[in-house]
A = this chain, B = another copy of it.
Amino acid sequence: MKNAIIQAIVLAAGRSTRFNTDKSKLGYTVCGKPMILFPLELLQRLEIPASLIVGYKAEEIKEVVKVAKIKNINFITQEKQLGTGNAVACSKKDWSKDHILILNGDMPLLDDSIIEELIEKHVSTKATLSFVAAHCLNPYGYGRVIKEINKATIVEEKNCNESQKNITLMNAGIYLVSKEFLKTSIDKLEKNSVSGEIYITDLAEMASNQGLVVQVMQVSYDHVRGVNTLEELWAVEQIKRSNLMKTWMSKGVRFELAQSIHLDIDVEIGSGSFIGTGVHVLNGTKIGKNCTINAFSIIENTTIDDNSQIRSHSVIQDSTIGKDVIVGPFARLRSDVILADKVQIGNFVEVKKSKIKCNTNAAHLSYIGDSELGSEVNIGAGTITANYDSLLKVKNKTVLKDKVKIGSNTVLVAPVTINEGANVAAGSVITKDVPEYSLAIARGRQAIIDDWVNKKLKEKENIHI
């Protein structure tokens, strides 16, 4: 396999100055994935081991890579940000393969096929240096590529004269170099006359001048857009998101106002499903077939089985939802919620760390926390599980067995168990377990004070006199 003779260096030490956020740009996400993971996962797929050159916010970046469990990564710290040439040089002692692939860390739209083709061409033409270029309308900030007969050079933006600034062929920052050439040349790179940094881009001219083969591979700019500003991040995410959207459309998913919807890369949506305006499908969420997710809902790290409906304005995190379930509108499943088939959770209802069995309803204005609800339970409007003892700072559990009916505005003070088929009268505060098929009632008796309103109003008048 050709890739066996390749190792990679990924440049991730830069200062992200133009982001203006005191964070490394490489930790920013594109469709849910931190930017630095795009080149690393690409290399992992191609089985190319990589050295990651870190510097600015090195710990932040290492943490991101660690969390993502990327394999075959060797971290190298560039102590001072002295330019790409210096960054590459830092990894010199680790160069063991025949060819070194150098990538920028900020190119989330790069395709595997571009790297595969670069390697193919580099090897087949016995090139010393191959690099990727693209035409772009506004090449501001990028090095410009000048192709002449038997020669290719890259001029950094800072060194461009007026005429060179008009060149639209930009250097994408992807190089494949013969190890031998790199070894002998890397230390010969000189400080840039304008910035004082050492740039790897000078290798192109160096190789050309020695009569070595330099390959320029031209690709579409949209695949090699770099991200130096938050505006460029926006542009790159637009393209990625739009591609995701088209992929899911082709698999039978209908998006309402597709341009308003946000999908993460790692989500799945079944055919026949409908995704409404503004919906966010995030972080590994899996939506089954023929589901409906209505406008303005946010679904994160959740599995939803076939034929379920999440109505508008719902927020669902870290949950598992069965078939034929209806949630919302205005519902919130906060975390660790498991809903069995045909459960209905209605408006202004919050559920947290709870397991709810088939055919159970909580339709209005309720809070269900740290609870287990059986099947065919009915939760009246305004029901609260008082799961938190705020004095002792402990959370307690509420258990409702099958067929329990809870009246409106009831408080279930946990720990408490309502046994099978028991009913609780509206407005009760339940502090003790309730036996099967009994009625629990805990509220004041209704009294009437006749003519109270008129007396009260008269009183008020008198006060004013």
Which residues of B lie under 8 Å from residue A391 when comparing CB positions?
405, 423, 453, 456-457
Known: A20-B251, A442-B446. A423 touches B260 (CB 8 A): no
Query: Does chain B have a CB within 8 A of A252?
Result: yes
Known: A350-B347, A367-B364, A409-B409. A272 touches B23 (CB 8 A): yes
Which residues of B lie under 8 Å from residue A234 when comparing CB positions?
249, 255, 258
Per the 8 Å Cβ criterion, residues 301-350 of A in contact with B are 311-313, 315, 329-330, 332, 346-348, 350
Flag if B246 contacts A233 (CB, 8 Å): no
| Interchain CB contact (< 8 A) of A252 among B19, B411, B443 | B19
Which residues of B lie under 8 Å from residue A212 when comparing CB positions?
none
Known: A19-B252, A315-B313, A446-B432. A407 touches B381 (CB 8 A): no
Flag if B260 contacts A231 (CB, 8 Å): no
Determine the distance from Cα of A327 to Cα of B123 in the docked complex, in whole angstroms.
57
Which residues of B lie under 8 Å from residue A386 when comparing CB positions?
380-381, 407-408, 426
Known: A249-B229, A271-B20. A438 touches B449 (CB 8 A): yes
Which residues of B lie under 8 Å from residue A330 when comparing CB positions?
313, 315, 330, 332, 348
Residue of B nearest to A457 (CB): B391
Query: Does chain B have a CB within 8 A of A448?
Result: yes
Nearest chain B CB to A212's CB is how many angstroms away? 39
Query: Does chain B have a CB within 8 A of A454?
Result: yes
Per the 8 Å Cβ criterion, residues 233-282 of A in contact with B are 233-234, 246, 249-260, 262, 271-272, 277-278, 280
Which residues of B lie under 8 Å from residue A313 when comparing CB positions?
296, 313, 315, 330
Which residues of B lie under 8 Å from residue A421 when comparing CB positions?
453
Flag if B272 contacts A252 (CB, 8 Å): no
Flag if B367 contacts A381 (CB, 8 Å): yes
Query: Does chain B have a CB within 8 A of A140?
Result: no
Query: Does chain B have a CB within 8 A of A298?
Result: yes
Flag if A259 contacts B262 (CB, 8 Å): no
Which residues of B lie under 8 Å from residue A48 when comparing CB positions?
none
Flag if A254 contacts B230 (CB, 8 Å): yes
Flag if A438 contacts B426 (CB, 8 Å): no
The listed residue with most B CB atoms (<10 A of its CB), out of A230, A234, A346, A410, is A230
Query: Does chain B have a CB within 8 A of A124?
Result: no
Which residues of B lie under 8 Å from residue A441 when comparing CB positions?
444, 446-449
| Interchain CB contact (< 8 A) of A446 among B366, B431, B449 | B431
Which residues of B lie under 8 Å from residue A295 when comparing CB positions?
278, 280, 296, 298
Query: Does chain B have a CB within 8 A of A291?
Result: no
| Interchain CB contact (< 8 A) of A426 among B246, B296, B413, B448 | B413
Residue of B nearest to A20 (CB): B252
Nearest chain B CB to A411's CB is how many angstroms away? 4
Query: Does chain B have a CB within 8 A of A61?
Result: no
Flag if A250 contacts B443 (CB, 8 Å): no
Which residues of B lie under 8 Å from residue A439 when comparing CB positions?
448-449, 452-453, 456
Known: A313-B315, A380-B390. A444 touches B429 (CB 8 A): yes
Which residues of B lie under 8 Å from residue A447 when comparing CB positions?
440-442
Which residues of B lie under 8 Å from residue A329 when comparing CB positions?
315, 332
Flag if A428 contacts B405 (CB, 8 Å): no
| Interchain CB contact (< 8 A) of A422 among B229, B262, B442, B453 | B453
Flag if B429 contacts A453 (CB, 8 Å): no
Residue of B nearest to A376 (CB): B390
Which residues of B lie under 8 Å from residue A271 when comparing CB positions?
20-22
Flag if B446 contacts A444 (CB, 8 Å): no
Which residues of B lie under 8 Å from residue A251 when comparing CB positions?
20
Residue of B nearest to A413 (CB): B426
Determine the distance from Cα of A429 to Cα of B350 in the docked complex, in whole angstroms.
23
Write 24 A-B pairs (CB below 8 A) sorted by A numbering.
A20-B250, A234-B255, A257-B262, A295-B296, A296-B296, A330-B330, A364-B384, A380-B384, A381-B384, A382-B384, A382-B409, A384-B408, A391-B405, A411-B427, A421-B453, A427-B428, A427-B442, A429-B443, A431-B446, A432-B446, A437-B453, A439-B456, A441-B444, A442-B446
| Top 6 A-B residue pairs of the complex, sorted by shortest distance between their CB atoms | A427-B429, A20-B252, A439-B452, A442-B446, A378-B390, A443-B444
